[in-house]
Amino acid sequence: MANTPPPFSKFEWIIAWRYLRARRTEGGVSVMTWISLIGITLAVFALIATLAVRSGFRSEFVGTILGANAHVSIYTHGVVDENGRIDRTLKDYDAMAERLGTVPGVIRAAPLIKGQVMASRSDRNAGVQVFGITSKNIADIPGVAGSEQAIGDLARFDDGVAIGSGVARELGVTVEDRIKLISPNGVKTAFGTSPRVNAYEVVYIFTAGRYDIDRTRIYMPFGEAQSYFNREGVADEIEVMVEEPEQVDLMALPLLRAAGGQTGVWTWRDASSGFLRALEVEDNVMFIILSILVLIATMNIVSGLIMLVKNKGRDIGILRTIGLSEGSVLRIFFICGAFTGVIGTALGVILGCLFAIYIDPIFSFVNYLMGGGVWDPSIRGIYALPAELHLEDVLKAVSLSLGLSFVVTIFPARRAARLNPVEALRYE
DSSP string, 316-338: HHHHHHTT--HHHHHHHHHHHHH
Residue type at 95? A
- Strands (E) located in 177-320: 178-189, 192-206, 217-221, 237-242, 263-267
Nearest-angstrom CA–CA distance, 127 and 115: 11
Angle of the 326-357 helix axis to the 273-311 helix axis, nearest 10: 140
Mode of pairing for the β-strands spanning 151-152 and 124-133: unpaired
Nearest-angstrom CA–CA distance, 366 and 382: 18
Cα-Cα-Cα-Cα dihedral sign, residues 37, 39, 41, 47: negative
Backbone angles phi, psi at 419, to 5 degrees: -65, 130
Nearest-angstrom CA–CA distance, 181 and 165: 17
pTM exceeding 0.75: no
Q: CA-CA distances (angstroms) from residue 366 to 42, 126, 232, 388?
A: 19, 33, 54, 19
Cα-Cα-Cα-Cα dihedral sign, residues 345, 350, 353, 359: negative
Nearest-angstrom CA–CA distance, 342 and 37: 9
At 308 the three-state DSSP class reads helix
Per-residue confidence of the chain (428 residues) as pLDDT tens digits?
446 666 767 767 777 777 766 554 454 456 777 888 888 899 999 999 888 888 888 887 777 778 788 889 998 887 666 665 677 888 888 899 999 989 999 998 999 999 999 999 988 999 999 999 999 999 888 888 887 788 999 999 999 999 999 999 999 999 999 999 998 876 666 556 678 889 999 999 998 877 788 899 999 999 999 999 988 889 999 999 998 888 888 888 999 889 887 888 988 888 888 878 887 888 888 888 888 888 888 888 887 777 777 766 677 677 666 767 777 777 887 888 888 888 899 999 999 999 888 887 877 777 777 776 656 565 455 556 678 888 998 999 999 999 988 888 888 787 777 766 656 555 55
Angle at 109 between CA 108 and CA 114, to 5 degrees: 130
Cβ within 8 Å of residue 421, ≥6 positions away: 316, 317, 318, 320, 321
Q: Is the Cβ–Cβ distance between 203 and 153 less than 8 Å? A: yes
Of 64, 43, 388, 30, residue with least CA distance to 245: 64
Q: Is the Cβ–Cβ distance between 133 and 110 less than 8 Å? A: yes
